[in-house]
């Protein structure tokens, strides 16, 4: 089954990104390096882990913040905020940096571009994750990875609406009420992006909240 991240039963990568933990990694996850403890924020909790990054039932997301530099297909991505949560259908943790003023909106795609970071191996931890090009690559618990894509492009040839990063890293510096960190993502000849984020953690019960 496949679905676009913001379309609950549509056609791209989020459910595929969950993978099959018992399947063959196709060579992608095997190339991933183990998250580095050096990514921990010196001022943060070095023992912070998956439990700390789980959505809180009483959190009140306000939209978070993110900045992205670089171009992709000659376009810039100018996010209005950043948020992180577990998709209610896929069970996959995703960090979203949309241009539209929405937060914790999982089941419809907002206007404009949106940069996404997927965590196939579970909730984000304080670490540096390698970017794997194949969002379907199953999780290797000994070498967790992430995928990065940007969707919302309007291709006239009907060939899709997103670019998937081939290389890069995502560094999580702290987890808690917010997920903070940075990323670098290379998309081959189509461009490269880098940026930082302080993503609000979405409560599991939230469906959609407009940012005021």
Q: What is the spatial distance between Cα 121 and Cα 141, in angstroms, rounded to a whole number?
A: 7
What is the tens place of the pLDDT at every residue in 26-85?
433 334 344 544 444 444 444 444 444 554 444 446 689 999 999 999 999 999 999 999
Q: Which two tokens stand for residue 198?
A: 């302080």
What is the tens place of the pLDDT at every residue in 12-30?
343 333 334 444 444 333 3
Q: In this structure, how many other beta carbons lie within 10 angstroms of the beta carbon of residue 108?
A: 11
Q: What pTM was estimated for this model as a whole?
A: 0.71
Q: Let me know: does 72 contact 150? Beta carbons within 8 Å.
A: yes
pLDDT greater than 80 at residue 201: yes
Q: Which segment of 70-79, 155-164, 184-193 scores lowest on mean pLDDT?
A: 155-164
Domain boundaries, the chain: 14-20+39-210
> Which position has the higher pLDDT, 50 or 185?
185
Q: Let me know: does 211 contact 81? Beta carbons within 8 Å.
A: yes
């Amino acid at each position: 089954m496949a679905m676009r991240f913001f379309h609950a039963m549509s056609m791209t990568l989020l459910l595929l990104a969950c993978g099959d933990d018992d399947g063959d990694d196709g060579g992608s996850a095997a190339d991933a390096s183990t998250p580095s403890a050096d990514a921990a924020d010196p001022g943060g909790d070095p023992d912070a882990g998956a439990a700390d990054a789980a959505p809180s039932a009483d959190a009140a997301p306000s939209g978070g913040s993110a900045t992205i530099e670089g171009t992709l297909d000659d376009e810039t991505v100018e996010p209005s905020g950043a948020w992180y949560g577990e998709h209610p259908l896929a069970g996959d943790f995703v960090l979203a940096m949309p241009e539209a003023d929405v937060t914790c909106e999982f089941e419809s795609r907002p206007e404009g571009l949106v940069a996404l970071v997927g965590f196939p191996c579970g909730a984000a931890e304080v670490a540096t994750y390698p970017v794997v090009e194949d969002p379907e690559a199953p999780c290797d618990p000994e070498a967790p990875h992430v995928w990065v894509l940007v969707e919302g492009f309007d291709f006239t040839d009907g060939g899709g609406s997103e670019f998937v990063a081939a290389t890069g890293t995502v560094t999580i510096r702290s987890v808690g009420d917010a997920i903070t960190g940075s990323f670098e993502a290379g998309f081959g000849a189509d461009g490269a992006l880098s940026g930082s984020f302080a993503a609000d953690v979405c409560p599991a019960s939230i469906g959609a909240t407009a940012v005021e």
